[in-house]
Copies of this chain bind each other. A is one copy, B any other.
Amino acid sequence: MKCASICTIGDEILIGQITDTNSGMISRALGEAGIRVTRMLSIGDSRDEIIRNLRNELKNNDIVITTGGLGPTKDDITKAALAELSGSEKSVCSEAQLEIIRSILHDRGLDMLDVNLQQAMVPDSCEVIPNRLGTAPVMAFRFGEDRFGRRASLYALPGVPFEAAGAIRDVIGDIRRHYELSSISHRNVMVYGLAESALSKKIENWESSLPSDMHLAYLPDPLTGIRLRLSIYGGEKNDEEARLDSEITALKEILGDLVYSDDDDSLERTVGRLLKSSGRTLSAAESCTGGEISQLISSVPGASAYYLGSVTSYAVEVKEKVLGVPADTIGRFGVVSREVAEAMAFGVRRLLGSDYSVSTTGLAGPGGDGANPVGTVWVGVAGPNGCDTRKFVFHNDRKRNIERFASSALDFLRRTIENDLNV
C-alpha cells in the first residue's frame, strides 16, 4: 500500500490563527483512493524548515502533498525552497496557468498586477497541473530513487481551501497514472443518540467477532453524531464488498433507529431527503440555537424545495408577538419549558404554513436562569399528527451546547418524520 504525508506550510496555521481544514480533506481523498496517510505536519514560512522537513517526509513516503505558502504575499519562500529541493535553478512561466489568471482577473474586473504574473512562474523542475479555481498552480515534482532512497512524488497545492479541494481531484488522477494503487473498501453507518462509550458497549459482541482484516473506527462529531466506519484494506474487490455488506446488515439490526444513514451523511441532508421524497415542507423556531438549525438546513443545496424559513425569537416579546406564544404560558412555565417549545413549534408552523416545524428553547450558557441547569434544551417537533417535545441536557461550553442542541433537534425531527412515513 502506498503511503503519503500531508504538510501544510504557513505561519498562520503554525501560530494558530487559522484552522487547517485542507489536511483532513486531502486525507479523505487519499484514503478513498487506497493511499495510507502516515502523518500530517504543519510548518512555518521558513525556507530552511521547509527544505529540512520535506526532505525527511520524502525519505519516508511515496507521496508528499503540501498546501499553502503560495499566496501572492509569501510566494517566494515556498517556491524557492521547492526549487532548491528539486535542484532547479530557473523559473519558467506556465502559459496554461497564466491564461487562467487572465480570465479570473477579467471576470472580476481587475487588472493584471506584477504579483499575479509572478504566480504563473514555477521552477523548471516541476510539471504544472493548472488550478482552474485560483491563481497559484499545482506543482508536481518527481524524485528518482537516487534522491531520497525511494521513488517519490511531491505535489504543492494552493492553501485556499476550495482551490485545494478542486486541485486534489486532478492530483489523485495524476497519482493513479504514476502509481499502482491497492484497493480499499469502506462502509459508513451514521448513528445518533448514544455516547461513544455506550455505543461501544452496545456493539461489543459484534465488534469482537469481526474478521481480523476488518477495521472499525468510531468518528464522533457534535453535529453528526457518531460515524462508524468499517474498512478492509488491500483485498479482492468483489469479495470485500459482499463481506462488508453482510457485517453492516448485522450492525444495523443491532442499532435499529439509532442509525440515520448508511452513507457518509449528515442529519440535515437526511431530513432534507425525507421531506423532499414525501413532498412535505419545514419551518423552524429557534431561541437558544439562535439560527444554527436554520443555517444547517439551508446549507444543503436545493433546500428551497422543502425549507420555507424560520423565526429566531431571541427576545421574549418576539416569542409572544411573532410566534404567538401566550404570555401566560411563559409566566407559568418559564421560557425554558415543554410548554413554550410546543407553542413555538405550533406558532411557526402556523405563521409560515409548513407541514413540519421544529423549535428549541434552552440555556446554552454561560449564564443560567436559576431554574434549569446550563445545557438544558426543550425541543418541539410539530407535524400533521400534533406536537412532540423532548428535553435534552448537555455539559459543554456555549458553542458546543448550541451544536448539540441543534443536532438533537434535527435527529428528533428525523425520527418523527420517519415514524409518520413508516420508514
Residues of A at under 8 Å CB distance from B? 11-21, 23-28, 31, 37-44, 49, 53, 71-73, 104, 107-108, 113, 115, 161-162, 165, 196-197, 200-201, 217-219, 221, 227, 229, 284, 286, 289-299, 301-304, 307-315, 317-318, 321-322, 351-353, 365-367, 395-400, 402
Contact = CB atoms under 8 A, between A and B. Distances in A.
A400 B166 CA distance: 14
18 contacts: A11-B217, A13-B24, A14-B27, A15-B28, A18-B219, A19-B24, A115-B197, A162-B400, A286-B294, A291-B292, A301-B367, A303-B314, A307-B315, A309-B311, A311-B312, A317-B353, A318-B352, A322-B351
A318 B314 contact: no
A77 B188 CA distance: 24
B309 A318 contact: yes
A312 to B, nearest CB: 4
A73 B27 contact: no
Contact of A31 (B16, B21, B284): B16
A217 B310 CA distance: 40
Contact of A308 (B295, B314, B367): B314
Given A298-B291, A397-B162, A73 B39 contact: no
Contacts of A296: 291
Give the copy number. Answer: 2
A37 B17 contact: no
A123 B209 CA distance: 31
Contacts of A19: 19-21, 24
Contacts of A27: 14-16
A265 to B, nearest CB: 13
A228 to B, nearest CB: 11
Contacts of A42: 23, 39-41
A219 B367 CA distance: 32
B15 A398 contact: no
A53 B19 CA distance: 22
A200 B115 CA distance: 11
Contacts of A400: 161-162
A197 B41 CA distance: 27
Given A17-B217, A18-B219, A196-B73, A43 B39 contact: yes
A330 to B, nearest CB: 15
Nearest to A313: B309
A395 B399 CA distance: 29
A24 B31 CA distance: 24
Contacts of A20: 19-20, 23-24
A309 B312 contact: yes
Given A17-B28, A40-B13, A73-B218, A291 B315 contact: no
A404 to B, nearest CB: 12
A26 B13 CA distance: 12
Given A28-B15, A73-B218, A312 B298 contact: yes
A49 B3 CA distance: 14
A314 B309 contact: yes
B40 A14 contact: yes
A161 B26 CA distance: 22
Contacts of A38: 43-44, 49
Nearest to A26: B16
Contact of A298 (B23, B217, B290): B290
Contacts of A310: 291, 310-312, 314
Given A16-B23, A16-B28, A162-B400, A304 B309 contact: no
